[in-house]
Amino acid sequence: MTQISVRVDGADYSDDVEPRTLLVHYLREQLGKVGTVVGCDTSNCGACTVHLDGEAVKSCTVFAVQADGSEVTTIEGISSNGTLHPMQKAFHEMHGLQCGFCTPGMIMASIDLVNDNPDPSEDEVREGIEGNLCRCTGYQNIVRAVQQAAGEMHGRTDAADTLGAQS
């Protein structure tokens, strides 16, 4: 067992973990942060994406011991005082989710993308979320959502295309 201190979604934790404990299992099983999920074994699906010191990482491909001294933000830590993060709001508005299993990782990866690229084109969004698999949506409404959120996060009002019933 190794002792680690981690700040997760604004709260400090000190815990003993086995070195082999993956960050995502620490979050889910020791902290009860079950909003972050596991979808694969090979770092392909991105469902487990969280922010580690501000950068999106796949928490199934980081050991919990590696997060010692770091700050982790999960899907459960991005809305404040009951106000949704613009990315969460946009996923809802643009119908960027169906079953919702990929959604936490997709939202965390998308925020990371928009932090780097405040006004991504459709192709840039598609490339930017290449590390996150969704089986339900065909991605089109996710792309719209990310573009709309990018507009809101960076103070533009002309964001994205408005959602037609059919496009």
Partner 1 sequence: MTLVEEPTTADAPQKEIGKARRRKEDARLITGKTTWTDNMVLPGMLHLAVVRSPVAHAKITNVDVSAAQQSPNVIAVFTGQDFKDEQGSIPCAWPVTPDMVNPGHPSVAVDEVNHVGEAVAVIVARSKTAAQDAVELVDVDYDLLPVVLDMEEATAQNPSLCHDHLESNESFNFVFDAGEAGTGADTEQAFADAEVVVSRRFVQQRLIPAFMEPRSVVVQPQGDNYTLWSSTQIPHILRVMLAMVTGVPEHKLRVIAPDVGGGFGGKLQVTPEEVLCLLVARRLGKPVKWTETRSESLMSAHHGRDQIQYIDIAADREGNLKGLRCRILSDMGAYLRLVSPGVPVLGAFMYVGIYKFPAYRFDCRGIFTNKVPTDAYRGAGRPEATFAIERIMDELAVELGMDPLELRRKNWINAEEFPFTTAAGLEYDSGDYEQATQQALELLGYDELRAEQQRRRESGDPVQLGIGISTFTEMCGLAPSRVLGSLSYGAGGWENASIRMLPTGKVEVVTGSTPHGQGHETAWSQLVADSLGVPFEDVEVLHGDTAISTRGMDTYGSRSLVVGGAAVMKAADKVLAKARRVAAHLLEANEDDLDFANGSFSVRGTPGTGLSIQEIALATFAAHNFPEGMEPSIDGEATFDPVNFSYPHGTHLCAMEVDTETGMVTIRKYASVDDIGVVVNPLIVEGQMHGGLAQGIAQALYEEAVYDADGNLTTGTFVDYLVPSAADLPHFDTGNTVHAAPGNPIGAKGVGEAGCIASTPAVVNAALDAVRHLGVSDILMPLTPERVWRAIHQGGDGGGRATAGTNAYGGAQTETTAGVATDASSLGGDR
Partner 2 sequence: MIPAPFAYARPSTIDEALQAVATGGEDVKILAGGQSLIPVMRLRLAAPETVVDLTKVAELRGVREEGDAIVVGAMTTHSDVLSDPLIARYAPLIAEATETVADRQVRHRGTFGGALAHADPAGDLPAVALALDAEFVIAGLSGRRTVPAAEFFVDYLTTALEEGELLVEIRVPKREGWAMHYEKFNRVAQAWSIVAVAAAVRMEGGRIAEARIGLTNMGPTPLRASAVEAALAGADATAEAIAAAAEHAGEGTSPSSDLNAQADYRQHLATVLTRRAVSAACGL
- The residue ranges that bind partner 1 (CB under 8 A) are 18, 20, 28, 33-42, 44-45, 47, 74-76, 79, 84, 88, 91-93, 95, 97-104, 107, 122, 125-127, 129-143, 163, 165-167
- Shortest CB 145 distance to partner 2, Å: 17
Q: What is the DSSP letter of 80?
A: B
Place of tokens 């949506």: 137
Tally helices (H) and strands (E) across the chain. Answer: 5, 5
Tokens of 95: 């119908």
Residue pair 91/107 in contact by the 8 Å Cβ criterion: yes
Residue 58 binds to partner 2 (criterion: CB under 8 A):
yes
> Do 132 and 109 meet the contact criterion of CB atoms below 8 Å apart?
yes
**Does 159 participate in binding partner 2 (rule CB under 8 A)?**
no
102 interacts with partner 2 by CB under 8 A: no
* Number of residues in contact with partner 2 under rule CB under 8 A: 33
Give residue for tokens 């969004």.
125
Beta strands in 69-141 (DSSP E): 71-73
- Please state the closest distance from residue 3 (CB atom) to partner 1, in A: 18
- Residue 112 contact partner, candidates partner 2, partner 1, none, CB within 5 to 8 A by sort of partner: partner 2
